[in-house]
Every structure is written in structure tokens, then in C-alpha cells.
Amino acid sequence: MTKKMMVPNPGMNTGSSGSNDITGFEEFNKRDIGVTLRGTFVKGSSLKVIIEVDGYLDNVNSTHFMETVAKVIQENASIKTVVIDLLKISYISSTGIGALSNILIQTKKTNIVLYLINVGRKVRSVLDTLGMTGFFNIVDSEEGNAG
Amino acid sequence: MIMSARTDEKIHGGLSLTDSKATYLGLHSWGAAGLWTVIVAVILFWSVYLQRALMDPLGILARPHYIPGYWGYAVLWLSGLAGIVLESIGLEKRTRERTLIEKELRRQQHLFGERGQELSFLHGVAEIAESSSILSAEIVQGIVDLIPQAWQYPKISCARIILEGREFQTEGFSESEWMLNIDILTHGEQAGSIQVYFSGSKPPESESLISNEERQLLETVAKRLGKIVERKRAKEALAYRLHYEEMLDSFSQELLKNRKETLKAAVSHLLKASGASRVYIYENFENADDGLCMRQIAASGAPGIKARKDNPRRKKLPYKDWIPRWQKVLAGGDPVNGAVEDFPQKEREILEAQDIRSILILPIFVNGEWFGFLGFDDTLSKRKWDINDIRLLQVAADRIETFIVRKRAEEALSESEERYRSIFDESKDMILTSSVDGKLIDINPAGAELLGYSSPSELINTQVEDFYYNRSDREHFNRKMAEGSFIKDFEIFMKKKDGSPLFGLETSIEIKESNGNTICYQSIVKDITERMETEKLLWRSNMELVEANEKLKQTQSQLVQQEKLASLGQLAAGVAHEINNPLGFIKSNYSVLKQYLDSITKYIRTIDKQHKDAAEGEADIDFILDDIEALFEESDDGFNRIITIVQNLKDFSRVDFLDKFESYDLHRAIESTMIVAKNEYKYVAEIEREYADIPLIECMGSEMNQVLLNLIVNAAQAIKSQKRKDPGIIRITTRKTPDHVVCEISDDGPGIPTEIQRRIFEPFYSTKEAGKGTGLGLSISYDIVVNKHGGDLTVESEENRGSTFMIKLPIRAKKRETENGEG
């Protein structure tokens, strides 16, 4: 992870439109389990997707979150890069971190690069405590802007 | 004065009307006597005058001044005089009389005033007594004492009031034949009477001697007394109720207390209120031998009455031996009530043995089941409790039910409370109570300990979120609580006093008031820090495993590739060797053949000169001979090229030095590689070389050749991908730094997008079309340069301007890296 990371400015892609570029999250969002997801492709490229996580990830909904994200990534074979935007996450439990780790593992297996952006103090403290920070490509939104 | 007397008469009902009228008339006749005399005289005079005038009207007219004549005047004057005298005498007498009357009046009035005062006092007392509803013996006595004085009739002697069985008499009371009786009625029933006794024998018309006013007065007093009694009775009834209610209240209050002697103390309140000698509560219980039995659970006796404490049987009295009838009555919800002497013989014996004269037994039911009874003994009088008493005392019996139910509940609760308390205190999990706004209300010792504090008191009244790693997690908690009134396995991430993390699983419930408002949250937090630690390790190893797997995959493919290359190298070397041999003798034969051909050529040319014209077609022999020479020259070139290629192949494959560090001439290696790769670049690019003076380096030749080949082929392919008309340029430069030799291979191709620059060294990453590349070339090169040689392989690229790959190799190999690389 010493290599320089480059991700596009997430601000350009978040909140600009309410629709999902990716199908597969609608059903998940309908279930209303405390977290909603939105996937948008970066600048019309089908290679890179930003997944916004809005809500909380706890022991109840994390597994479902993980399965949904994994499935969506799997179904969109063109995806080479997945960016998970954690700006709007209100609470994350260790299970949530576990879910992210599992997503990371899955992406590694399929040669997809996973980035976490907008990792707030909350998420980072849990990541740090669990000693998982080093495994993730964490990019500050500022750095993302610069890149 | 007269007027005032009349006024008095009016006020006091004309008690002295007859007398005063007589006096008035007498007084009038005396005073008017003189006046009457004068009037008679005048009439007489004028009657004489008128008589004359009638008889002789002309004479009168002729002599008007001669009217009555001398006698007439005399009579007139005399009568006038007499009138005056009489009048003056009458006046004098009248004045004297009036003085007397006035005196009498004043006396009368005095008497009258006293009576009036007494009368109004009597009224007043009765009124006061009525209004205040106080009816003390003193007041009734006072009323009696006032009656004779208020009486006009002089011969009244004494009076008495009989009220509710009590008698109030005037002093020296004695009954006489002549009396007046007024009944005192309450609600139409006689409650007593007012009696006035007159002295002397009763005259036949005695009733008429008593004035209406006097009778009315007595009736008023009687009415008032009646009303007072009514009120008093109502008040007593109220007081009775109040008394009972007070008793019930204190009884209930007592029952609310949680003492050992609660029932006994409560029962003593009943004792006071009911007027019984003993009050007791018995409880039923089943006994295997005797069936349903009773036992005393509380009792209280009036002073001097033994509470039968000494009776050993009170611990267990079987109904069947004792009073089987009661079992039916009481179980049916009815009371046992009455004088013992009216009871069946068997019961009488038992009860009378305890000096009980009357008894009231009220059943007690608990949750619809006959529990026992509340009993009242009266050892003094035989009586039957009236329905009101029973009704009120039944309330007490019912209250006992509540008490028993509560006590049972409390017993059950206190048991569980105790159990819970010990769970709270002994639990290894944190148990805490927090208010809705996050104030820590209570925490158990384990909780304090988990957070690194010595006692819960240090924590109480602090804010729960102070211990949260992320304060906002509480908001999430609150939201969750608001959603479902409980939260299960909520993961909280806390920090201890020393700042170290504490992971907990929190399960909370809302404690609500009966009106639905939340009072607090009750939570149990399980410390899962250790589990988390294990999980953390598990995750880490999981992640590491994944990474190791990836690496393994990478290494494996590299190994395969290297193996392939090595085989290829060996093959190439073998082929080169095999070709070299025949090539050797072909070349040697070829040289000999050429010499032979030269000799033959010389010979032919000599013959040709001698037999110039010998045959047709021989003219071509010159051409053939010339062409043979050319053919040989070309073949010569071909041989040389084959020999060079074979030599380079041998050099490139380095069969003899595989995987061993050797002295390596980079320039020579580049040239060999260029020849091997010539097919790739010869149509698309020109090669520019900028070689510096560099030393030999320690290197694994075959490996490094592979790197050079990869980079040169990549450069050529990059240029080729542009499909341009002009050939591209591949520039190869070398230079030396103090410890390293640097080789840069640049192309002017399309460049590499920044996004994928960092990925190009990853295994299997390929931008080439499927089947064109393995995606391993650069990753293997990276591995060879960086891992095996301790060098560096980097790329600089600009889109549409080209790419430059830089190989930096140490002049002296780093052995450790090598070993790692080989391992």
C-alpha cells in the first residue's frame, strides 16, 4: 500500500443524482434495515463504481449489506474498481467492519481494487481498534480531490 | 308613653291588652269633662235663641241685638265658667292619673324587658343550640330554667325537658295536676317532651289561660330541640361512619406497613372501632389427617381481655372438630353473627367457655378462594351486629385480602428481588440503568470494574456517552430504543478509565411508567473485548491468508513462467548446440567446396578460351560462373548470420549459468536481446543506443535477459498498437551511478494511463487483447529486478508521449536479497 493511490473526486459523484447506476440495490433499500446503498459509475465508466453507504451497519444488517454488495459487484463483471463512500454512515459495529473485510477479500480474489473514502473518526476508531486499517486502501476525500 | 306601651304590646303579643284599654278609656273621660260642659252650654244657649227666632222671626229681625235675653247670657256665661272649672279639675286629675300610669307602665315595662330578654335569650339559646348543633346537658338545663321565667302565667311552678331518655328539671321540680306537654319530634317520632307544670289545681278552662304565644314559644323550642336531636343523630351517624372510616384508614395504613406485626397492629385498630373485646384473624390450611383446619395469624384483645395467647390449639383447629357449621357458612361468603346463647348447643359450649357472649365472624376471601376469617368477640353484652357494622367491618376483611395478596406478591418479589440483587452485584457482566438523556443512574460493581473504576459510586451521575468511544453511538442507541423499546446485542465500543478499548454487547429494555412515559433504560453489557481480540487476530490472519494466497498465486505463475523460460532457454541452447555441429561441418564443407569451385572455375575458363567456338550455348557459362560466385557470397552471409544467431541464442539462454550470479555485460546482453527480439521491432521502430561506460555487474544473466526482452518487446508492441506510418523510436540508454548501473528503455508510444500505472506490475494485469499477453511479463520483471536483484524497476509515462522503464541494478549483488529471491 505504499504505492500512490489515485481515485477520482468523490464529490463529483455523490449526491448529484438520486438514482442508482447499478441495479441490485433497490431491493436492499426497500427492506429498510437501517442502511441504504447507492451505486454510481465514475464519469460514465463502467470500470469504476462508487457505493455510498447511508445509515448504520450493525450486527443485524451487516451480513445482508455484505452479501448485497458482493452480489452486485459479481454481477457487474466490468467493474475493476470499487469505492465505498462511508461519509453518511452513522454507526458501525465490528460486524460492519467484518462485512467490509469480507468485501475486501472478495474483491481481492476477483482482482478488483477496493477503496474506502470519507472514513470518519467513528469508522476509523473501530478499524484501528480491530487492527484492520492497514488492509484497506483508505483515501481521504481531499487526497481524492488532489488525485 | 302610651305609644311605647302599645309598641310593647305589639312586640310581646298583647299580654296586658285588657288592662291597658281600661286605663286608656278612664283617662279619656276625665280629661274631656270640662269641654263637654262648655259644649252643652253653647248648645243650650243657641237652642233658646233659635227657638225664639222661630217663634218670632220678625221680633228677632226687628231687634237683632235682643237675642237670648238676660237669662240666656247668664246661662251661657255660667256654663262657660263651669266648663272651664270642670276642665281644669279634669286636667289636674288626668295629670295625676297619668303619672301613676306611667309609673305602672315603667314597672310593667321593666318586667316586660326582663322577660323579653329572657324570652329572646330562650330563643337565642335554642337558636344557637340549633345552629351549632351542640346539645350539651348544660344547654338543655338552661332552656328548662328559662321556661318559668318566660311564662306570663304567674302560677307556673316548674318545668322539665325529657330528651333521649334524659330528664332536665327546674329547681325544686314537682309534678302537679295541671300541666302543659309539648312533644319533641325527630323525623316524626317522639324523641322527648317539654312539660310545664302549674301550681294549684287545674281550672276547667285552664287551656285558655295559656296564651297562644306561650304555647307557640314552647312549640318553637320543642321544634328546635327536635331539630338539634336530628342533627345530632345525623352527626353521630356521620361520626360513626367517620370513626369507622378512620379506623379502616388506620387499619389500611397499618396493613401497608411492612412489619412483622403488621396484622396484629392492624387488628388492634379494628378492636377500638368495633367495640369488641377481641378481634382476630384465622387462616385456613389443609391438614392430611384433619382436613381443613384454621390457625390464628393475628389477634388483639381489649385491655383486661386475654387474647387467648395461651391457647395451644389456636395453632391448629380442625373445622370438623371445632365448628363444622361455620365452614359452610363462611365458605359460602356469609357472616356468623349473633348472641352466643342463640347458637347451637355445641357451639355455645365452645364459645361460652371463652366468655364470649356475642360473636361476629366475617369470611376473608383471597383471589376468590376462602382464605379464613376475621372475628369479633364481645364478652360483655349479647348483641347482634347490625348491617351497617357488618358492612363496614367487611370492608376491613376485604382489605385483609389485599394485604395477603400483596404480601404473597412481595414474598415472591422479595425472593426474586434478592435473586436479582445478587445477580446485579455478582454478575460479571455490566448492568446499568441510564436515564433517557444518558445519565448513569446505577451501575453494578462489575460494570465499574470493567470500565476501570474502583466503585460504582465514581460513575453514578456521569453521562453514559462519556464512556463511548464515539459519543454519537448513543444517538444510534436512542434511535434504536425509540424504534422498538428494546435493543439486543447492540455493540458498544467504550473506553476504559485508562483509555483502552472495551467492546461490549449491550442488551437494553425500556422501563416505563404506567402512563407510558419512559423512566429509564436498563442495560446489560457483556464484555466481548477478549472475543474481539481473538476475532481481530482471526480477521487479520484471514486477511493475511488472502494476501499470502494472492502472493502464492503470483509466485506460482512466475515459477511456471520461469520454468517455461528456463526450458525454452535449455531448448534453445540444445537447438543451438545441435545446429552448431552440422553448421560447423556444413561451413567447413562449404569452404572446401568453394576452394574446389574456384579451381574448377579457373579450369573452365582456361578451356573456354581454347574452345571458343566449340559449341552453341556455351556463351552462358560465364554468367553461370559469375552467379555461382554471388550465390556463394550470399550463402556466406547466411552462414554467418546463422552462426551469430546460434551464438546469441546460446548467450541468451545461458544454459550453463542458470540462476547463478555471474559477471554480466549489460551491453552485450542488450545486443543479444535485440537480436532475439528483432522480429518484434524491425518493422515498427528504430533503435537508438546511448551506451555509457559501465562496468560488468553481478547478475543472473538469463533472468535479466528476460527482463530486457520483456521491456523491449513491450516498447515495440506499444508503438505497434498506434498503427502509425512513421517508425517509432526505442531508445536504450545506460549509465552508471556509484553503486548501480541504470538502464532506461524508452518508447514514444501511447504511454500508460495514470490509473493503471500502479497496476501494471501486478500479475495477470494486461491491457493487451486476450491471447496476446499473459499479464505476467512486467510482474515477473518486477520480481526479478526488485526481489531477486535488490534493484528497482519503475515507470514514468505520459499519455501520448511515451513511457520510460528504468532498471536500476546494483553493481555488486546483494546476497541476502538473492537468497530471498531464490527462496
For residue range B525-536, list pLDDT tens digits in order. Answer: 999 888 888 888
Between B759 and B348, the higher pLDDT residue: B348
Residues, chain A, total? 147
pLDDT of residue B16: 36
pLDDT of residue B78: 75
pLDDT of residue B747: 92
Taking Cα atoms as reference points, which of B269, B267, B324, B270 lies closest to residue B296?
A: B267
Residue B198's DSSP bridge partners are B156, B178
B775 secondary structure, DSSP code: S
Between B575 and B62, the higher pLDDT residue: B575
Listed in sequence order, the DSSP H helices in B165-300 are: 206-209, 212-256, 262-274
Distance from CA of B758 to the nearest CA of A (A): 7
The pLDDT tens digits of the residues spanning B121-158 come to 566 666 665 555 556 677 777 777 777 776 665 566 78
Cell of A41: 459509475
For residues A116 and A92, is the Cβ–Cβ distance under 8 A? no
Nearest CA in chain B to A129: B501
Nearest CA in chain A to B535: A130
Taking Cα atoms as reference points, which of A72, A13, A80, A77 lies closest to residue A41?
A: A13
Cell of B524: 446489560
- Most confident among A27-31, B45-49, B454-458, B688-692 (mean pLDDT): B688-692
Nearest to A122 among B470, B490, B501 (CB): B470
The contacts of residue B342 (CB under 8 Å, 6+ apart) are: none
Residues of B in contact with A90 (CB under 8 A): 472, 475-476
Query: Given CB atoms, is A91 within the 8 Å cutoff of chain B?
Result: yes
CA distance B185 to B189: 5
The pLDDT tens digits of the residues spanning B49-100 come to 677 666 666 655 555 555 556 666 676 677 677 767 776 776 777 777 777 7
Residues of B in contact with A3 (CB under 8 A): 758
In a mutagenesis test of the A interface, which of B492, B532, B540 is the best target, namely the one with the most A β-carbons within 10 Å? Answer: B540
Query: Band of the pLDDT at B206, cuts 50, 70, 90?
Result: low
If phi > 0 it is left, if psi is from -120 to 50 it is alpha, else beta; for residue B720 that is: alpha
Cβ of B546 within 8 Å of Cβ of A105? The answer is: yes
pLDDT of residue A4: 41
The pLDDT tens digits of the residues spanning B136-145 come to 677 777 777 7
Taking Cα atoms as reference points, which of B269, B270, B354, B356 lies closest to residue B314?
A: B354
- Report yes or no on whether pTM surpasses 0.95: no
Q: What burial class does residue B309 get, using C-beta atoms within 10 Å of its C-beta: 0-12 exposed, 13-18 middle, 19+ buried?
A: exposed
pLDDT of residue B114: 59
Query: Band of the pLDDT at B733, cuts 50, 70, 90?
Result: very high
For residues B778 and B714, is the Cβ–Cβ distance under 8 A? yes
Query: Band of the pLDDT at B659, cuts 50, 70, 90?
Result: low
Helix (H, G, I), strand (E, B) or coil at B443: strand
Beta strands in B87-227, from DSSP E residues, in sequence order: 156-163, 166-169, 178-186, 189-198
A43 secondary structure, DSSP code: G
pLDDT of residue B619: 57
Nearest to A108 among B501, B532, B550 (CB): B550
Query: Given CB atoms, is A129 within the 8 Å cutoff of chain B?
Result: yes
Residues of B723-745 as b/e, b for ≥16 C-beta within 10 angstroms? eeeeebbbbbbbeeeeebbbbbb
Residues of A in contact with B503 (CB under 8 A): 94, 129
CA distance B107 to B99: 12
Domains of chain A: residue spans and CATH: 26-112+120-139 (3.30.750.24)
The pLDDT tens digits of the residues spanning A37-89 come to 988 887 766 688 889 999 988 888 888 999 999 888 888 888 888 999 999 99
In a mutagenesis test of the A interface, which of B493, B526, B532, B779 is the best target, namely the one with the most A β-carbons within 10 Å? Answer: B493
- Given a cut of 60, whether residue B716 has pLDDT beyond it is yes
Residue B453 CB-half CA count within 13 A: 17
- Given a cut of 90, whether residue B741 has pLDDT beyond it is yes
Residues of B791-810 as b/e, b for ≥16 C-beta within 10 angstroms? bebebebeeeebbbbbbbbb
pLDDT of residue A44: 64
What is the distance, to the nearest Å, from the Cα of residue B684 to the centroid of all Cα atoms in its chain?
A: 83
pLDDT of residue B354: 82
In a mutagenesis test of the B interface, which of A79, A83, A93, A121 is the best target, namely the one with the most B β-carbons within 10 Å? Answer: A93
Question: Residues B243-266: what's their mean pLDDT?
Answer: 76
If phi > 0 it is left, if psi is from -120 to 50 it is alpha, else beta; for residue A123 that is: alpha
Query: Given CB atoms, is A109 within the 8 Å cutoff of chain B?
Result: yes
Query: Band of the pLDDT at B325, cuts 50, 70, 90?
Result: confident
Between B563 and B785, the higher pLDDT residue: B785
Percent of chain A scoring above 90 in pLDDT: 16
Residues, chain B, total? 823
DSSP element (H, E) containing B137: helix B137-150
pLDDT of residue B743: 94
Question: Residues B699-719: what's their mean pLDDT?
Answer: 86
Query: Band of the pLDDT at B388, cuts 50, 70, 90?
Result: confident
Residue B518's DSSP bridge partners are B512
- Given a cut of 70, whether residue A26 has pLDDT beyond it is yes
The residue to which cell 376483611 is assigned = B397
In a mutagenesis test of the B interface, which of A3, A66, A130, A133 is the best target, namely the one with the most B β-carbons within 10 Å? Answer: A130
- Given a cut of 50, whether residue B276 has pLDDT beyond it is yes
- Given a cut of 60, whether residue B616 has pLDDT beyond it is no
The one-letter code for the residue type at B392 is L
Q: Tally Cβ neighbours within 10 Å of residue B180.
A: 20
- Given a cut of 80, whether residue B588 has pLDDT beyond it is yes
Helix (H, G, I), strand (E, B) or coil at B316: coil
Question: Residues B496-511: what's their mean pLDDT?
Answer: 88
Average pLDDT over chain B reads 77
pLDDT of residue B124: 64
Query: Band of the pLDDT at B2, cuts 50, 70, 90?
Result: very low
pLDDT of residue B68: 54
Rg, Å, chain B Cα set: 74
- Given a cut of 50, whether residue B169 has pLDDT beyond it is yes
- Given a cut of 80, whether residue B120 has pLDDT beyond it is no
φ, ψ dihedrals at B157, nearest 5°: -115, -45
- Given a cut of 70, whether residue A108 has pLDDT beyond it is yes
Distance from CA of A95 to the nearest CA of B (A): 9
Cell of B637: 552471409
Whole-Å CA distances, B613 to A10, B355, B495, B619, B621: 97, 188, 120, 9, 13
pLDDT of residue B667: 92
Nearest CA in chain A to B764: A111
What is the distance, to the nearest Å, from the Cα of residue B253 to the centroid of all Cα atoms in its chain?
A: 29
pLDDT of residue B777: 72
Cβ of B532 within 8 Å of Cβ of A94? The answer is: yes
Nearest CA in chain B to A93: B491
Cβ contacts from A onto B, under 8 A: 69
Cβ of B543 within 8 Å of Cβ of A101? The answer is: yes
CA distance B87 to A80: 156
Taking Cα atoms as reference points, which of B759, B744, B752, B760 lies closest to residue B792?
A: B744
CA distance B593 to B613: 29
Helix (H, G, I), strand (E, B) or coil at B26: helix
Query: Quick one: CA torsion of B319, B323, B325, B331, rounded to 10 degrees?
Result: -40
Between B493 and B513, the higher pLDDT residue: B493
Distance from CA of B717 to the nearest CA of A (A): 24
pLDDT of residue B258: 65
The one-letter code for the residue type at B129 is A
Helix (H, G, I), strand (E, B) or coil at B723: coil
Cβ of B540 within 8 Å of Cβ of A132? The answer is: yes
Nearest CA in chain A to B794: A3
The pLDDT tens digits of the residues spanning B216-233 come to 777 888 887 887 777 777
Beta strands in B302-439, from DSSP E residues, in sequence order: 317-318, 336-339, 358-366, 369-378, 430-434
The pLDDT tens digits of the residues spanning B366-381 come to 877 888 999 988 888 8
Helix (H, G, I), strand (E, B) or coil at B361: strand
Listed in sequence order, the DSSP H helices in B611-664 are: 621-653
Average pLDDT over chain A reads 78
Pairing label, strands A137-139, A113-117: parallel
- Give chain B's contact residues with A (Cβ, < 8 Å): 469-470, 472-473, 475-476, 489-491, 493, 501, 503, 532, 535-536, 539-540, 542-543, 546-547, 550, 754-755, 758-759, 762, 764-765
- Given a cut of 50, whether residue B268 has pLDDT beyond it is yes
Distance from CA of A71 to the nearest CA of B (A): 19
Cell of B278: 377481641
pLDDT of residue B88: 75
CA distance B194 to B183: 6
- Most confident among B82-86, B110-114, B302-306, B442-446 (mean pLDDT): B442-446
pLDDT of residue A14: 42
Cell of B104: 305602672
Write down the ipTM of this complex.
0.76
Question: Residues B95-120: what's their mean pLDDT?
Answer: 65
Helix (H, G, I), strand (E, B) or coil at A146: helix
